[in-house]
Structures are given as structure tokens and as C-alpha cells.
Amino acid sequence: MKSIVELIEAKRDGKEHADEEIRHLIDVYVSGEMPDYQMAAWLMAAFLRGLSSVETAALTRAMAESGRMVDLSSVPGVILDKHSTGGVGDKTTLVLAPLVASCGVPVAKMSGRGLGHTGGTLDKLESIPGFSVTIEESALVQQLLDIGVVVTAQSADVDPADKKMYALRDVTGTVRSIPLIVGSIISKKVAGGADAIVLDVKVGSGAFMKTEDEARALAHELQRVGELLGRTVQCVMTDMSQPLGLAVGNSVEVCEAIRTLKGEGPADLTELCLALGAKMLVLGAVATSERDARTMLLDSIAEGRALATFSAWVAAQGGDADVAENPDLLPLAEFAAVLTAPRSGYVVGFDAEGVGRSAMLLGAGRETKESPIDLGAGLVLEAKIGDTVVEGQPLATLYASDEGLFEAAKARLLESIVIGDDEPEAPVLFHEV
Ligand code: URA
């Protein structure tokens, strides 16, 4: 076997690794024999030189097998997971997980925390008083059998390779690499025990993949490697040229998710949940067509079953289930400020990443994994692409625990909302399936 330095040099020079070389790299890194600086050098070499399809599959398999594999085989039916490549205002899991479970398909999901301008489901869930995202495997299986939905943090012994590598990629400029993203996402899903996965690949200003071509290449590779590792995978490319829904933050997003489960959510979020949910019901074999599945989802919302499943899920994970009926129980930062339109016209576009950065400036996000987060901070937009606004009209309400944070956050938000004279074309929510 080549030494670690030789493996780094080989990748630096654009050579292809054998399967066992990749497994060796992952094994020695996870065991602590390979220091972060060597893995950082290899990651940058892989970022710049790329990995072949065969190498990407070997990397994914080695990462998935770097720790314990969750065993959900005692739960009957097809276990579904859903993953988004990350965006701004993306609270889809909070709606989809109970909605799909209420229609009879078990959903088990390991989620992540917010990093950079994108939010994380775990932080959002933790804004519900009492909600716990750490669950023992036996309790997890029981909850899945009882309620059909469980969302947890990745435990330390499941896919430890991804945990270490993701943290390193985040601070070494090596996140936006297709093979590394595929390894990270698919290894987690394989180790997490789901049988089938619906992947929402975001494209646009708020996503890692800014162009359709990049997003399409990522989607194809995710599907190919997922299937190679024995999972059923469906990818959908969806719009992230503006935030999803109106709320960006943590508790404000939970509040919007609850409204959506009651059938009162924003149109784009509702539509995305129905479309992804329909795919999950077909994959979960409780519906034969997406059209029938959609009807089942709409019925569940209308009959209150989706919201009841949300409440049962929150209670099972120790949270205050009364938030479903009384969202005022969620934390909200003490101070509010309104950003008004500097001129009249149409909202013609967003820098969605800038909106996420503005929410971070309010305290809703974290710069590094260790940064503290204010679960009650965030912002709620009052206009989206295509809406007309009049000078002085509110564009957004911002929430923070320190009034001193508003100036910079408002400035960043204002820069991120483009107002023009001509009516823009409506953004396409689904780019490709
Ligand atoms: N989400 C992940 O889980 N991993 C990545 O590398 C990028 C997005």
C-alpha cells in the first residue's frame, strides 16, 4: 500500500486511486492516524482533479462503512428518507416527514445543522421547547413503529468519516465538489438505514450548485452512486433562486411549516411538499401513481391527520406538542424591525444566499460549527419574485435579540432583493425530475 503522502501526490497529479487505497485513506483518517492537514491536502487535490465514477462509488462505500450501520429491518414497509442539498428557507422536512408518515410511509431521517448561509433541520427542530434530536437506536425503531416518523442527529458512531470530513471541507474551500458531495450525502443515507431516498437538488443563487448544468451533473451522480450501493434514489432539481416560502431562521420556519401542515402555507413550499411527498408515497408503495398520492396528501392535510402526526412526533421526541395549535409558544427574538421598499416596482430577483447571510447577521445561523445560534432570530419576507411593491411598503420583518444587529442585516437584505420596472417571468419551481 502506498503511504498517505504518496496517495496525496497521486491525486495531486491527477492519477486514479484503487478501491483499497480509498478505503485505506478513510480508515486511517477515521482512526486518527492521518492528521487533518493531510486529509485537507487530499480533499483539495480531489476537489481540483476530480474523482472518477468508480472512485466516487468507492469513497461513498468506505465512508458509509466507516462506522455503525443503522438497522431498521424490523420496521415493516419501505423506509423513506429525503434530503435536500441545502438552501435558504428550506423547511421541507418539517412538513414532509409528518405528512408522508400520516399517509402510511415510515420516514427515518438523520438531519444536519445549519452551516454558512443554509439552515439546518436540527436547529429548527430544537427551537421547539424540549425537542430532543438524540435518540437511542432501540427507541428510534420503536418511535418509527408507533408514529412512523423520526428525525435525529447523526450519532457519533454513524458515518464518522463524513462528520470529520464535512467539518474539514467547510473550512478548506472544498465543499462545492460533486464527488465529495455525493460521498457525503449518499454515505449518510446508506449508513442511516433507509431503503429509498428522494433527493432535492437545489439550483440557483441560494444553492451550492448555482447553474442547471452543475445541479444536473450532481443529480445524476447522486442517483448513480445511490443505486450502485443498493438504494432506490429519485432526484428532483428545484429552484433556489429565491428563499423557499417566506420565513428564514429557526422558530420562524417551524411556524411556517405548521401553517403549511394546516393547508395555510406559502404556495411554493406547499407545492414542493406535495410533489416530493407524492414521489415518497409511490416509492413507499402506498400509492400507484403520483396523482393518487397527491390526493392522499391533500386529504391528510384537510382532515388534520398531517398536523396530528406532527404533534405526535414532537411529543415523542420530548417537545411541547402544543406548538401545533399555539405557535406563540415558540421562541421569538425580543426586537423586530421592518425593511421597507426603497422604490416602487416589481420584485424581479433575489440573491437568496444574501438573504441567508442576512438571517445569519441577526443571529439565526452559525459561521463555524461551534458558533452559538439564536433560535428566535430570523426574518419573514413580505414579497417574492413577481410581486409589485410600493415605495415604503414592508419588504420583510426582521427579528433579533440585540437591536444593534439590525443595521447590517437590513443592509445585506436590501442588497439581496432586486426591484425593477418590468414584470419578471415567474421562477420555475421544478427544473427537472
Ligand atoms: N450536504 C451534505 O450532507 N454534504 C455535502 O457535502 C453538501 C451538502
Ligand 1: which of 174, 181, 209, 221 to mutate, judged by most atoms within 8 Å of the beta carbon?
Answer: 181
Give the residue extent of every domain in the chain: 4-50, 80-327, 330-420
Q: How many helices (H) and strands (E) does the chain have?
A: 16, 13
Is 195 a known active-site residue? Answer: no
Judged by DSSP in three states, 289 sits in coil
pLDDT for the residue 307: 98
Ligand 1 first shell, C-beta below 6 A:
85-86, 112, 166, 175, 180-181, 184-185
d(CA 170, ligand 1 centre) in Å: 10
Evaluate whether 85 touches 177 at the Cβ level (below 8 Å).
no
DSSP 81-133: EEEE---SS--HHHHHHHHHHTTT--EEEEE---BTTB--HHHHHHTSTT---
- The length of the chain in residues reads 433
The β-bridge partners of 152 are 110
Catalytic-role residue among 162, 195, 239, 268 = 162
Residue 161 in grid coordinates? 468519516
pLDDT for the residue 270: 98
Instruction: Give phi and psi for 124, each to the nearest 5.
Output: -60, -45
b/e 101-131 (16+ beta carbons within 10 angstroms → b): bbbebbbbbbbbbbbbbbbbbbbbbbbbbeb
d(CA 337, ligand 1 centre) in Å: 33
CATH number at 330-420: 3.90.1170.30
- The CA-atom distances, in angstroms, between 253 and each of 57, 127, 147, 168, 335 are 35, 10, 23, 28, 17
Query: CA-to-CA distance for 148 and 137, rounded, in angstroms?
Result: 15
One fold for 4-50 and 330-420: no
In ligand 1, which atom is closest to the CA atom of 169? 6
- In this structure, the number of other CB atoms found within 10 A of the CB of residue 320 comes to 16
Query: CA-to-CA distance for 66 and 73, rounded, in angstroms?
Result: 20
Of 292, 307, 264, nearest to 97 by C-alpha is: 307
Q: Quote the Cα angle for 375-380-382, to 5°.
A: 175
Closest protein CA for atom 3 of ligand 1: 185
CATH 3.40.1030.10, applies to 80-327: yes
Evaluate whether 352 touches 242 at the Cβ level (below 8 Å).
yes
**What fold does the segment set 4-50 form as a domain?**
1.20.970
Evaluate whether 280 touches 96 at the Cβ level (below 8 Å).
yes
> Helices (DSSP H) in 284-385: which residue ranges?
290-302, 305-316, 352-361
Q: Is the pTM of this model over 0.75?
A: yes
Evaluate whether 380 touches 246 at the Cβ level (below 8 Å).
yes
Ligand 1: which of 164, 185, 202, 209 to mutate, judged by most atoms within 8 Å of the beta carbon?
Answer: 185
pLDDT for the residue 138: 87
Sign of CA dihedral 370, 171, 403, 248: negative
Q: DSSP letter for 334, please.
A: S
Judged by DSSP in three states, 174 sits in coil
For the chain, 433 residues long, give each residue's pLDDT as a single digit of tens.
Answer: 899 999 999 999 999 999 999 999 999 999 999 999 999 999 999 999 999 999 999 999 999 999 999 999 999 989 999 999 888 999 999 999 999 999 999 999 988 777 667 788 999 999 999 999 999 888 999 999 999 999 998 888 999 999 899 889 988 989 889 999 999 999 999 999 889 999 999 999 888 888 999 999 999 999 999 999 999 999 999 999 999 999 999 999 999 999 999 999 999 999 999 999 999 999 999 999 999 999 999 999 999 999 999 999 999 999 999 999 999 999 999 999 999 999 999 999 999 999 999 999 999 987 776 778 999 999 999 999 999 999 999 999 999 999 999 999 999 999 999 999 999 998 899 987 7
Closest protein CA for atom 1 of ligand 1: 85
pLDDT for the residue 119: 80
In ligand 1, which atom is closest to the CA atom of 112? 3
Catalytic-role residue among 66, 177, 184, 300 = 184
The β-bridge partners of 202 are 238
Looking at 232-332, which runs of residues are DSSP E strands? Answer: 232-239, 247-249
Q: What single-letter amino acid sits at 297?
A: L
